[in-house]
Structure 1
Amino acid sequence: MQALGHFDYIIVGAGSAGCVLANRLSADPDIKVLVLEAGGKDDYIWIHIPVGYLYCMGNPRTDWGFSTAPEPGLNGRSLNYPRGKVLGGCSAINGMIYMRGQAADYDRWRQMGLAGWGWDDVLPLFRKGEDHYALDDEFHARGGGCRVEEQRLSWEILDAFRDACEENGIPKIADFNLGDNFGSAYFQVTQTSGIRWTAAKGFLKPAMKRPNLTVVTGAQVSRIRMQDGRAVGLDLTVNGEPARADASGEIILSSGAVGSPQILELSGIGNPQILGKHGIQTAVANPAVGENLQDHLQIRTIFKVSNALTLNQLTNSLAGKAKIALEYALKRSGPMSMAPSQLGVFARSDDSFETPNVEYHIQPLSLDRFGEPLHSFPAITASVCNLRPDSRGHIHIASADPRSQPEIRANYLSAETDRRVAADSIRLTRRIMASKALSKYEPVEHLPGSRVHTDEDLAKAAGDIGTTIFHPVGTCRMGADEASVVDERLRVRGIGGLRVVDASVMPTITSGNTAAPTMMIAEKASEMIRADRRAGA
């Protein structure tokens, strides 16, 4: 068995959170840090070209290849559930959208008893990690590890969609990241000059020059070793061969909403009934592990259009594809620099919501599902997701074998409130598409189809065309209550020397894309970890 050595801190996962932690903790030369990443190096060309997410999701070189169990709310469909398995984690395969959410999200956490997690507390942490292309002010900053830029393209049909939103009382704004994201704007993205930025580029690789930081790829954790009520090390495999690592300080799980609860359960931390089912002895009983799964379900409405250029036409010929490739090669702009979604809109599905409860991702293209060819006809996709779903799912091990995929049940649209928001969202989309600003493009509803009208039929249609927008959170819930998985300092309850630092700790999902909040969580965790170290905790 290979012995990797003794370290002050071992970080499991080199994704958005793990890379930030590695950078911040190893900044102290007296701290010896080990980072374990189950995937490989980020030397695959399609990681770095923005449109390359099409070739990274579902690719075992960069993606765990998870899928959900059949979902009743999606009319029995199972969804692919991409999660990054490479240095940089999900930041290497995601949609590159920089989105903090709403101030009310974090103030709600504070109101749940989580001291230090309100908007005023976390805004400085967002700024600390940011390298904004233009601003250095109360809300934004330059010089951090996360590069944020404007997109390098524009589409007339998307500009018209913004005009149509304005006709419906949704204003045009310049910035989604000021605490109130009501309005429409082009998404700001984690890119640098038309090339994908990743957490590995911004945080991990600069830190890898330090002699006190060790990074091991191909390292999959089997279980946490515990002694006298404390986590003391890990059993794992490195490129398939048995290995072990020991921690004198803490073990930090940053394996995401799927991986972190899986490792806890494999180690005997979780619901005794689930553990016993797979022959695992309970070390710490906590039925909350793996529960509270939340995700944003995007309802992908598609409208055929006329008199408009969309990506569908540009890619239907070799000449069009060659032109796209040449533009990117010469200018790092055009469709190959595109994030999966270009235009964002935050709105209310009805007036009872105090803050926007739905988010649109508008795309000048259409297709049946990711990875398949674009449609032959010109069209746009107006995906809309419920930002704060009431439906809750779970992620639990399906086997004691760490190589086996866990069971993922998101339970989309299981809450009646979510079904109502889904129906109202489709109606709102129809009102926007029927606006004067879009009339010259003669939009015709392709999906779900104009004959679908009742609440029940619209909710069923949402189940037919809805899919994940890749934002799973909450499975290692942070809480002030003893039933939570981690406390407000992200320490796993019932055992010392163990924390979880990733999107799984969110008690409730943020109102927007989750990459930036995940990095913020890591920034806060690193400050707490170093403070506890100084205090001798």
Structure 2
Amino acid sequence: MTQAAEISDYLVVGAGSAGCVVANRLSADPGIRVTLIEAGRRDTSPWIHIPVGYFRTMHNPDFDWCYKTEPDPGIAGRAIHWPRGKVLGGSSSLNGLLYVRGQREDYDHWAQMGNRGWSWDDVGPVFQELETFQRGEGEGRGTEGALQVSDPRLRRQICELWIEAAKARGIPYNPDYNGPVQDGVGHFQLTVDKGRRCSSAKAFLTPIRDRANLSIVTEAQVLRVVIEEGRATGVEIARPDGSRQILRAAREVILCAGAIGSPQLLMLSGVGDAGALTAQGIRVARHSPEVGRNLQDHLQARLVFKCREATLNDEVRSLVNKARIGLEYALFRSGPMTMAASLVFGFLKTRPDLATPDIQFHIQPWSADSPGEGVHPFSAFTQSVCQLRPESRGTITLRSSDARDAPLIQPNYLSAQTDCDTIVAGIEIAREIARTEPLRGAISQEFRPAPDVQGYDEVLAWARENSTTIYHPTGTCRMGVDDRAVVDPRLRVRGIHGLRVADCSIMPEIVSGNTNAPAMMIGARLARMVLEDHASETGRASGGAFDKVA
């Protein structure tokens, strides 16, 4: 039996990177009632807050939706895992903690596509407002925001040698890739505060959980948006005990369920391709054929090199070393347990005629087939290289009309020639750096790919057989000014009143870097737009700063 609940002004679906920011900002006005709905549980596990805990939370159904793609011809017919956060904080509670804004040109291009309000001049100040950059320096860097951004507490010699080898090949050191220029190599910035993960939930919910006008509902999966006479009036949720409930929104429903969850919910609610919805027995509320299309992701090729010196692979195999590592973290919040997914970055161009970098390197002082599956039983490090602006486009489609059935994910990786050319060029650049001193002297074997993998066709075949996601799905509820766009530049779902989307699904084109920071920015931009609209309708002033972490 479905029961009705009390009405909030705004229902925010998904307490992830964007949703936590939306809930924080909207509930800053005590006259606005906000309900934040999360399918997962609260973020009470200590492994969420220990930076290296992603080894325990990824692929764990207690925290991860554990999605898997369909077999994809572009990666040799393989089906691969697509982790997504199912917990308070969403993917920001189990990601690799890397803070990357993307290139200024990314956002200027969005604006050039007609999306007014999304240029770098518009979004740059939002990034600045959200963060506290603990180094305290840099053009356009924030010092008063809730999101703590720090430099790594851990360094390893193999990564420093990689930087020196890259510099020997003429690539400059860049102390702040989130500053005016992204190009170069250096050390990643992290969403870590004093050795603990600073997720979106930690930054934007923890300080304000006692607000009387904010309700946080966990372990409640949204089954559909309730649409009545062309307007979103609420959502239907399912509880673990099997009960169902309707939550009502007096003003708007805001989907922040991510590039997989948001298009799935729209389609389940009758917003999508009319023919496909009818075939699933879903009543059509709005024919919107691009819902679930325009899917983009960063594909990574992970090159592994065996080393003559010890790496973290060796450090974590010994029980004695594990005890020492744990004690160091407990006493000082330092050491390997503060490690992000990567220590060192490279933003490089595969061709000199490019205006901005088109590949990103993640350098890791360890190697594994996948985070969560354990490290290799030998000394090694990883050069992960991904194409920043893929031209391949995939789809999210419904498996069934049941929200509990994961949708069909078809990335269509490496289906565009430019993507093939770029991944091959990136792999060759990685090999060149590895063969440059001082890094060359530390490498005992080129493990993956083997040195005998040579020539364009062989390298591309290796990439198809071995590459995997770097966890950045975007674009499936495309923002635009044309009639086929799913949302308009104010993130309103076309053809449905009182319904918006705010997460990485709205990106018309993927940003040139990791997507956690842009997701938070999108949440902040959406909240500002909603408050502006609310103010214009009620005659009240909008504004106010984001709450800082206490």
Tell me if TM exceeds 0.5: yes
1:369 is displaced (CA, Å) by: 2.9
Corresponding residue for 1:293?
295
Q: How does 1:2-401 map to 2 (within 5 A)?
A: 2-135=3-136, 138-239=139-240, 240-306=242-308, 308-401=309-402
Instruction: Calculate the TM-score normalised by the size of structure 2.
Output: 0.96
Q: Which segments of 5 or more consecutive residues in structure 2 lack a partner in the other structure?
A: 539-550
**CA-atom RMSD, angstroms?**
1.2
Report the count of equivalent residues.
Answer: 536
3-state secondary structure, aligned to 1:120: helix
Contact 1:471 1:514 in 2 (8 A): yes
Corresponding residue for 2:477?
476
1:377 is displaced (CA, Å) by: 2.1
Instruction: Calculate the TM-score normalised by the size of structure 1.
Output: 0.98
Q: Partners of 2:136 and 2:481 in 1: how far apart?
A: 36
Opposite residue 65 of structure 1, the aligned amino acid is: C
Opposite residue 374 of structure 2, the aligned amino acid is: P
Using the TM superposition, name which of 219-228 and 406-415 deviates more.
Answer: 219-228
1:134 is displaced (CA, Å) by: 2.5
Opposite residue 12 of structure 1, the aligned amino acid is: V
1:464 is displaced (CA, Å) by: 1.6
Opposite residue 534 of structure 1, the aligned amino acid is: A
Q: Partners of 1:482 and 1:257 in 2: how far apart?
A: 20
Q: Partners of 2:140 and 2:23 in 1: how far apart?
A: 25
Opposite residue 53 of structure 2, the aligned amino acid is: G
Q: Partners of 1:497 and 1:136 in 2: how far apart?
A: 41
Q: Partners of 2:443 and 2:401 in 1: how far apart?
A: 56
Opposite residue 293 of structure 2, the aligned amino acid is: E
1:482 is displaced (CA, Å) by: 1.2
3-state secondary structure, aligned to 1:402: coil
Using the TM superposition, name which of 215-224 and 261-270 deviates more.
Answer: 215-224
Contact 1:301 1:465 in 2 (8 A): no
In structure 2, the CA distance between the partners of 1:320 and 1:375, relative to structure 1 (3 Å rule), is: same
In structure 2, the CA distance between the partners of 1:431 and 1:136, relative to structure 1 (3 Å rule), is: closer
Q: Partners of 1:102 and 1:179 in 2: how far apart?
A: 9
1:347-385 C-alpha deviation (Å, 9 max, x unpaired): 012223210000000011112333333222211100000
1:459-509 C-alpha deviation (Å, 9 max, x unpaired): 110112211111000000001111100000000001110000001000000
Opposite residue 208 of structure 1, the aligned amino acid is: R
Opposite residue 191 of structure 1, the aligned amino acid is: V
3-state secondary structure, aligned to 1:437: coil
Q: Partners of 2:314 and 2:56 in 1: how far apart?
A: 21
Moved over 3 A (4+): none
1:532 is displaced (CA, Å) by: 0.7
Q: Partners of 1:372 and 1:270 in 2: how far apart?
A: 37
1:176 is displaced (CA, Å) by: 1.1
Contact 1:448 1:465 in 2 (8 A): no
Contact 2:391 2:416 in 1 (8 A): yes
3-state secondary structure, aligned to 2:438: helix
Overall identity of the aligned pairs, in %: 47
Opposite residue 514 of structure 1, the aligned amino acid is: T
Q: Partners of 1:369 and 1:490 in 2: how far apart?
A: 35
1:138-193 C-alpha deviation (Å, 9 max, x unpaired): 41112211111111111111111001111222111111101421011111100111
Q: Partners of 2:259 and 2:445 in 1: how far apart?
A: 38
1:238 is displaced (CA, Å) by: 2.6
Using the TM superposition, name which of 223-232 and 91-100 deviates more.
Answer: 223-232
Opposite residue 273 of structure 1, the aligned amino acid is: G
Contact 1:101 1:179 in 2 (8 A): no
Using the TM superposition, name which of 363-372 and 71-80 deviates more.
Answer: 363-372
